[in-house]
A and B are shown apart, each in its own frame.
Chain A
Amino acid sequence: MGLGLLALRASRSLALNRLPRAFAYQNPSNNAIIRGIVSTPELQNPEAAAAVQQPEPAPELPPRKPVAGARVHFTNPDDAIEVFVDGYPVKVPKGMTVLQACEIAGVDIPRFCYHSRLSVAGNCRMCLVEVEKSPKPVASCAMPALPGMKIKTDTPIAKKAREGVMEFLLMNHPLDCPICDQGGECDLQDQSMAFGSDRGRFTEMKRSVVDKNLGPLVKTVMTRCIQCTRCVRFATEVAGVQDLGILGRGSGEEIGTYVEKLMTSELSGNVIDICPVGALTSKPFAFKARNWELKGTESIDVTDAVGSNIRIDSRGPEVLRITPRLNEDINEEWISDKTRFFYDGLKRQRLNDPMIRGPDGRFKAVTWRDALAVVAEVLHQVKAEEIVGVAGKLSDAESMMALKDLLNKMGSNNIWCEGNGSDPQADLRSGFLLNSSIAGLEKADVFLLVGTQPRVEAAMVNARIRKTVRATQAKVGYIGPPTDINYDHQHLGTGTQTLLEIAEGRHPFCSALLHAKNPAIIVGAGLFEHKDKDAMFSAVETIAKLGKVVRPDWNGLNVLLLNAAQSAALDLGLVPESGNSVESAKFLYLMGADDVDLDKVASDAFVVYQGHHGDRSVYRANVILPASAFSEKEGTYENTEGCSQETLPAVPIVGDARDDWKIIRALSEVAGIRLPYDTLGAVRTRIRTVAPNLLHLDEREPSAISSVAVKPQFSQKVSIAPFGAAVENFYMTDSITRASKIMAQCTAQLLK
């Protein structure tokens, strides 16, 4: 057996030697394996290492591609400096670090503590490179690139330095990869295969560290920690909760909270992603699966209106975890805890079969044919104006289009989307979009938050505001109920009165708004439900005019929506005809709508609930039509800044459920008013005639004209009322999150 292993090794190294050296660096994605089995025992002594060093081949290699699409942005062309990475000249802006220059040159430098979105710590020493005329290897993440610097990343000195650092890091790292959840996606594992030695010389006892309790989301195995301090910097800088710290010194150093304290941030799940080892892993995902068994589906988050880009990792019919995807314009590389951990709600409380409520008040499973026949019959018995449809918070554009078409064919136009209120303003897109765009908020220097708590309503927007406040000391004024905001702000007041004071120029905050270069007003969509909403919005517009918030080059008048379906619904014109249609409805079609006030519904009304979860509305429904959840269908969602994105099916549909638009299409057939589309493509062709912007995927469609310029002045009296909180419980906002056990744990433990 020993001989066989030897032979295998020999043949492998032979095969490797035949590979051209350049190949290994051309494909950063698959060179890990190639690098992995190259051990460098000959580098253990410097004389041999020097002998091994081959004469440099002439640089006839093709130019390399930047690592992971790294881009250079020259703000000032005079600031460009030229450095040489392994002999290749690269132009980089002044102030960039050696590591960034190497990335642009297409050389991936191993690192643990360096993270592009966090401050530089420089404590892991893994990124050591050789710089000509420097007496010792330099930590490239902390060293600014200087003109004419000759950086060498592939020399024996650099390799030996990495190998040495790796040996030190592995000294105290347990050898528990087989039972570690990070196994397979572990930076330490990968880099020790690629850059480490094949043996260590440490024979003493390894240290052990007591695990910390950080709450129901993050599992800690602190013995695995290599003290990169990424989590400490993330918590302090991005999440804005100063809970984590480095305690102790030397070999007794550990990460912790000192006093028993849970990590009560809405972004705490991100420490799982940034942890380069298995010290911080996902508690709900613990021991569930190996990452190579999972199928990744690139999709969109629907729990809030931000539309964070996510990857749904599934195995078979089960969603096992959700991780963020990089999107600089929306969520950067973070997602909120709700987005990351609500997935277990997709398995609970699901509606499998069409059901009809019998005379005894119990539901009975029936076939689709029977269920649709009953609904179609009732649909024809009621008067047109008594038909009402409500789209839920998680509805996609296609199904909302189909529902609107169905109701319109029946002669009713009483259809709206939850959260938009009874009288939404859908004529001008600028009236309901985040006009300055999420990434654009970074340009703002004064924020005025009106009736919105972005921390719970849209955690990623809040992270962006916090980033801006940290970077530029932007001023933040907040009007609303007292709340926990994790950056410097002034609490100006609780309601309409303060808003009017600012509009009339009587408030001290006015001067800040007037002197701001790019003021941004963010109005919460919670105000949509307010009865004085028009007056409030006209007050906000007065402020906008006062402070020159809307200009050709800057539109800082923003509305922050709450739900994934809202902006697409307004784009598609889901505006109810009358304000009190729920009360007069005889036929109520709820498409995933669970937050409709069902007490208002007349007792003789016929309620159809089409949705994926047995949530609030099911208790009042007469017929249940099971639909697919966002993880099981292809659907278009528009986020709060007006960017259309698409979900993709990651797992098969549960039970006998169907896609929302297909159910409505089938119902129209049974009811004898056939809708003219049979495929998703045909539905989208129909959407093109109504709101073509919804089909421009991953593109933000800004609103053409601003509402401030064209809207008539309102002179309605405003009642002096404080604003309410739009989201009571961050962790439970819709039917999926309410069905989730993890979210229930979070509610119980973190919202104390």
Chain B
Amino acid sequence: MFAPAARLASKRLLEIRQLFRQSPQARSFSTALNYHIDSPDNNPDAPWEFSDVNKEKAKEILSHYPSNYKQSAVIPLLDLAQQQHGGWLPVSAMNAVAKVIEVAPIRVYEVATFYSMFNRTKVGKYHLLVCGTTPCMIRGSREIEEALLNYLGVKRNEVTKDGMFSVGEMECMGCCVNAPMITVADYTKGSEGYTYNYYEDVTPKRVVEIVEMLRRGEKPPVGTQNPQRIRCGPEGGNTTLLSEPKPPPCRDLDAC
């Protein structure tokens, strides 16, 4: 009577062991910490203000919303603040936004922590975001991230020593047809020259080339990096839908 029970027990024990043998990274969270830790360049006492140009912009943004719904402007204003501050939001910038839209600071923190595009820790001048969602992952986004990290010698969300680059992960950016892809957020020119470009159909070799070009101050061509493709069209030209599309039968009354 005990034999089956013992067998069952040992099997279960094995299963449990198997569980513990799994890598500790069973669930990874791409977002940064959800609380603030004071540091010399990020603390509530550090002064922060919109620049004069951006004050005008903020006024313009606020004019889009009714005066009693100023809080609606929280996301565009945070974005503006992030561009002004070199790609990330110190806690004092969030406080400044809270003051502009007249809400409690915590309401701004809630929004800033919710969206992964708001960086609450320092990023490089070029913030490279690798898409990690399923289609890109199947097409090799992990290798691309690895190549970037190896080339730059940093970990994820870490800034290179010269402050030029940082690598982060981003969820689907709607470019699955040209997977895998990375995005480069360029904070070198402040909020005026801010760009956010897609580099699609990349390979581990090509991303390194892109990074080298960026470092040299060149502008790598945006969009697909596969010379055989035109935007999101198939490699080597179209293979289907070559003729003129037929009009919908119900509309074309003569055809029916």
- Chain A residues within CB distance 8 Å of chain B: 2, 203-205, 207, 210, 212, 242-249, 251-254, 256-260
Q: Counting CB contacts under 8 A, is B121 at the interface?
A: no
Instruction: Map CB proximity to A onto B204-234 as digits: 1 under 8 Å, 0 otherwise.
Output: 0000000000000000000000000000000
Nearest CB in chain B to that of A256: its residue: B35
**Are A259's CB and B36's CB within 8 A?**
yes
> How far apart are B20's CB and chain A's nearest CB, in angstroms?
10
**Are A210's CB and B27's CB within 8 A?**
no
Nearest CB in chain A to that of B5: its residue: A2
Query: Given A212, A243, A251, A253, which contacts B27 in the complex, CB threshold below 8 Å?
Result: A251
**Are A257's CB and B106's CB within 8 A?**
yes
Which residues of the other chain, A, contact B115 by a CB distance below 8 angstroms?
Answer: 249
**Are A248's CB and B109's CB within 8 A?**
no
Q: Counting CB contacts under 8 A, is B72 at the interface?
A: no
On whether A258 and B106 interact (CB within 8 A), knowing A204-B26, A205-B27, A252-B34, the answer reads: yes
Nearest CB in chain B to that of A172: its residue: B27
Which residues of the other chain, B, contact A242 by a CB distance below 8 angstroms?
Answer: 103-104, 106-107
> How far apart are B81's CB and chain A's nearest CB, in angstroms?
16
CB-based closest 5 A-B pairs: A242-B104, A258-B109, A248-B34, A245-B106, A247-B34
Nearest CB in chain B to that of A248: its residue: B34
**Are A246's CB and B110's CB within 8 A?**
yes
Which residues of the other chain, B, contact A254 by a CB distance below 8 angstroms?
Answer: 34
**Are A203's CB and B113's CB within 8 A?**
no
**Are A247's CB and B110's CB within 8 A?**
yes
Which residues of the other chain, B, contact A245 by a CB distance below 8 angstroms?
Answer: 106-107, 109-110
> How far apart are A466's CB and chain B's nearest CB, in angstroms?
15
Q: Counting CB contacts under 8 A, is B19 at the interface?
A: yes
Q: How many residues of B contact A (CB 8 A)?
A: 24
Nearest CB in chain A to that of B37: its residue: A260
Which residues of the other chain, A, contact B114 by a CB distance below 8 angstroms?
Answer: 247-249
Nearest CB in chain B to that of A205: its residue: B26
Q: Counting CB contacts under 8 A, is B140 at the interface?
A: no
* Chain B CB within 10 A, most for which of A204, A212, A252: A252
Q: Counting CB contacts under 8 A, is B91 at the interface?
A: yes
**Are A259's CB and B110's CB within 8 A?**
no
Which residues of the other chain, A, contact B135 by a CB distance below 8 angstroms?
Answer: none
Q: Counting CB contacts under 8 A, is B44 at the interface?
A: yes
Q: Could you show 16 A-B contacts with beta carbons less than 8 Å apart?
A: A205-B26, A212-B35, A244-B106, A245-B106, A247-B35, A248-B34, A249-B31, A249-B113, A253-B34, A254-B34, A257-B106, A258-B34, A258-B106, A258-B109, A259-B44, A259-B109
B:47-81 near A, CB below 8 Å: none
**Are B34's CB and A259's CB within 8 A?**
no
> How far apart are B210's CB and chain A's nearest CB, in angstroms?
30
**Are A258's CB and B113's CB within 8 A?**
yes
> How far apart are B127's CB and chain A's nearest CB, in angstroms?
19
**Are B35's CB and A258's CB within 8 A?**
yes
B:24-38 near A, CB below 8 Å: 24, 26-27, 29, 31, 34-36, 38
> How far apart are A174's CB and chain B's nearest CB, in angstroms?
15
Which residues of the other chain, A, contact B35 by a CB distance below 8 angstroms?
Answer: 210, 212, 247, 256-259
On whether A248 and B31 interact (CB within 8 A), knowing A203-B19, A204-B26, the answer reads: yes
| Cα A247 to Cα B29 with chains together (Å) | 14
Which residues of the other chain, B, contact A253 by a CB distance below 8 angstroms?
Answer: 34
| Cα A245 to Cα B24 with chains together (Å) | 29
* Chain B CB within 10 A, most for which of A245, A251, A253, A257: A245
Which residues of the other chain, A, contact B31 by a CB distance below 8 angstroms?
Answer: 248-249, 252
> How far apart are A93's CB and chain B's nearest CB, in angstroms?
30
Which residues of the other chain, A, contact B104 by a CB distance below 8 angstroms?
Answer: 242-243
Which residues of the other chain, A, contact B36 by a CB distance below 8 angstroms?
Answer: 258-260
**Are A259's CB and B91's CB within 8 A?**
yes
Query: Given A204, A252, A256, which contacts B29 in the complex, CB threshold below 8 Å?
Result: A252
- Given contact pairs A245-B107, A249-B31, A259-B105, a sample of 10 additional A-B residue pairs in the complex whose CB atoms are under 8 Å apart: A203-B19, A204-B26, A242-B103, A244-B106, A249-B116, A253-B34, A256-B34, A258-B34, A258-B35, A258-B113
**Are B27's CB and A204's CB within 8 A?**
yes
| Cα A253 to Cα B34 with chains together (Å) | 8
**Are B107's CB and A247's CB within 8 A?**
no
> How far apart are B171's CB and chain A's nearest CB, in angstroms?
10
Which residues of the other chain, B, contact A249 by a CB distance below 8 angstroms?
Answer: 31, 113-116
Which residues of the other chain, A, contact B24 by a CB distance below 8 angstroms?
Answer: 205
B:93-142 near A, CB below 8 Å: 103-107, 109-110, 113-116
**Are A243's CB and B26's CB within 8 A?**
no
Which residues of the other chain, A, contact B26 by a CB distance below 8 angstroms?
Answer: 204-205
| Cα A203 to Cα B91 with chains together (Å) | 37
Query: Given A207, A243, A247, which contacts B113 in the complex, CB threshold below 8 Å?
Result: A247
| Cα A244 to Cα B116 with chains together (Å) | 20
> How far apart are A230's CB and chain B's nearest CB, in angstroms?
16
| Cα A527 to Cα B110 with chains together (Å) | 44
Nearest CB in chain A to that of B30: its residue: A252
Which residues of the other chain, B, contact A2 by a CB distance below 8 angstroms?
Answer: 5
| Cα A416 to Cα B221 with chains together (Å) | 89
Query: Given B27, B44, B91, which contacts A207 in the complex, CB threshold below 8 Å?
Result: B27
Which residues of the other chain, A, contact B5 by a CB distance below 8 angstroms?
Answer: 2
| Cα A635 to Cα B38 with chains together (Å) | 52
Which residues of the other chain, B, contact A256 by a CB distance below 8 angstroms?
Answer: 34-35
Which residues of the other chain, B, contact A251 by a CB distance below 8 angstroms?
Answer: 27, 29
| Cα A2 to Cα B8 with chains together (Å) | 14
> How far apart are A208's CB and chain B's nearest CB, in angstroms?
11
Nearest CB in chain A to that of B44: its residue: A259
| Cα A256 to Cα B19 with chains together (Å) | 31
Which residues of the other chain, B, contact A203 by a CB distance below 8 angstroms?
Answer: 19
**Are B106's CB and A248's CB within 8 A?**
no
| Cα A244 to Cα B5 with chains together (Å) | 51
On whether A243 and B106 interact (CB within 8 A), knowing A204-B27, A251-B27, A259-B44, the answer reads: yes
| Cα A252 to Cα B158 with chains together (Å) | 20
| Cα A396 to Cα B105 with chains together (Å) | 46
Nearest CB in chain A to that of B24: its residue: A205
Which residues of the other chain, B, contact A212 by a CB distance below 8 angstroms?
Answer: 35
| Cα A686 to Cα B36 with chains together (Å) | 63
| Cα A243 to Cα B113 with chains together (Å) | 15
Nearest CB in chain B to that of A257: its residue: B106
* Chain A CB within 10 A, most for which of B26, B27, B35, B105: B35
* Chain A CB within 10 A, most for which of B31, B104, B106, B113: B106
> How far apart are B32's CB and chain A's nearest CB, in angstroms?
9
| Cα A2 to Cα B4 with chains together (Å) | 14
Which residues of the other chain, A, contact B113 by a CB distance below 8 angstroms?
Answer: 247-249, 258
| Cα A245 to Cα B106 with chains together (Å) | 6
Which residues of the other chain, B, contact A244 by a CB distance below 8 angstroms?
Answer: 106
Nearest CB in chain B to that of A258: its residue: B109
| Cα A716 to Cα B5 with chains together (Å) | 95
Which residues of the other chain, A, contact B109 by a CB distance below 8 angstroms?
Answer: 245, 247, 258-259
Which residues of the other chain, B, contact A259 by a CB distance below 8 angstroms?
Answer: 35-36, 44, 91, 105, 109
Which residues of the other chain, A, contact B105 by a CB distance below 8 angstroms?
Answer: 258-259
| Cα A203 to Cα B114 with chains together (Å) | 27
> How far apart are B87's CB and chain A's nearest CB, in angstroms?
20
Which residues of the other chain, B, contact A210 by a CB distance below 8 angstroms?
Answer: 35
| Cα A210 to Cα B35 with chains together (Å) | 9
Which residues of the other chain, B, contact A258 by a CB distance below 8 angstroms?
Answer: 34-36, 91, 105-106, 109, 113
Which residues of the other chain, A, contact B106 by a CB distance below 8 angstroms?
Answer: 242-245, 257-258
Nearest CB in chain B to that of A2: its residue: B5
* Chain A CB within 10 A, most for which of B19, B38, B110, B116: B110
Which residues of the other chain, B, contact A246 by a CB distance below 8 angstroms?
Answer: 110
| Cα A2 to Cα B116 with chains together (Å) | 51
> How far apart are B112's CB and chain A's nearest CB, in angstroms?
9
Nearest CB in chain B to that of A254: its residue: B34
> How far apart are A629's CB and chain B's nearest CB, in angstroms?
40
Nearest CB in chain B to that of A241: its residue: B104
Which residues of the other chain, A, contact B27 by a CB distance below 8 angstroms?
Answer: 204-205, 207, 251
| Cα A425 to Cα B36 with chains together (Å) | 55
| Cα A249 to Cα B171 with chains together (Å) | 13
Nearest CB in chain A to that of B20: its residue: A205
